[in-house]
Structure 1
Amino acid sequence: MHVVPGLKVLYFGTPVVVVSSRNEDGSTNLAPMSSAWWIGQSCLLGLSDQSQTAANLKRDGEAVLNLPGAGMVDVVDRLAMTTGRRDVPGYKYRQGYRHVADKFAAAGLTAQPSNLVGPDRILQCPIQLECRLVAAHPFGGTALDATAFEVEVLRTHVEEELLIPGTAYVDPMRWDPLIMKFTEFFGDGRNVHPSRLATGWQMPHRMPTATA
């Protein structure tokens, strides 16, 4: 039987993306997000207007979409409650966010120069997409205060072992993306790590505790 619960969150499961963008001082900011979808050689990114990434994209028009595998979940979780904004927005401060200037150091990641855009790539991410901004669309009305950024993928970087040999296709049996589902981390169909984001956003669910 179907019910009509009036869902407050529509986050049924999408790949985690760590977005590299360029700060005003030329340094690279990193921000994990999962409101992203692709079609052809384009991607749409949903970002809060109060985020450092949104400000950087509007000003600089370039980004790298770094896709971590499920095995990188602990690294992504270290970034989950951080912001590149020195003036942490009030709602984020109340949830436990903190300003971090060097996200690479905070997460134990290595910066790798890009070929066609300014922001650095993340060496450890097996898939990296260099992009340029095409358009920005206000999204969700004033209550949400967000923008959908349309970006064009200029160049892809993929670990060779993920490709179907002799082709330009990623092997879906070898690629295990990190998925965020209702603020929880999943890989290979199972919960793979406790989520700081779920705690910060005071999600009412509780993941089962693993037993030996």
Structure 2
Amino acid sequence: MVLSHEEEKTHPYWYARVIGIFHINAEHQNDNGLYSRPTRMDFLLVRWFRQDSSRAGWAAKRLHRLEFFDEDSPDGYKFLDPDTVIRGVHLIPGFAYPIDPNDLNSDSRFYYLNIFVDQDMFMRYRGGGIGHKATRDWNDFLQHEGHGAEEAQEADEADIDIGDDSEEDVEDIWNDEDDDPDDWNDPDDEDRVVADKGEELDDNVLAEEGYGAL
């Protein structure tokens, strides 16, 4: 995975499969015809994935789905600087979508992007990952994906009212004689762990069972 270079903010990354890892010893020729010392240059030969048009992400509650560019596409294969690679990704083959519908053993057309493979990967798609300076600009976008407008619309449809309790309602709650908040933390209150019939509660047993703090 590498950072996306698209102007429209829809997804933070591009994806590719590494076909080969190579290096060359390059020499630079200046205007006087002199060559510099050979410099090693590493590069990758990759085949690019593209995201399909199906809805995906936190709002859609679906993993992002990828597929290869066509082999004859000019965007199908490229050389890539290894320093631009963020990390490897875990792809899950879409076994229900074989390239050849008549051959269920053929390669899958689609691959699902497993954003839950580990903690670091999860934070790259949730936003707010520690130390990920390159993706800092994406944090706000990722953390609001699936929130905001859609939630507001759902709240309007459900007529949800938050924080609208009147003073009288609040006063009635606290004046309820059967539910005095001062009694909630009463140290003399009965133990909430009740003994079975014919048995007695033992503090040591309760402690061993993890109820010592009750």
Alignment TM-score > 0.5, same fold: no
TM-score normalised by structure 1 residue count: 0.30
Structure showing greater Rg: 2
Q: Please state which structure has a larger fraction of its residues in strand.
A: 1
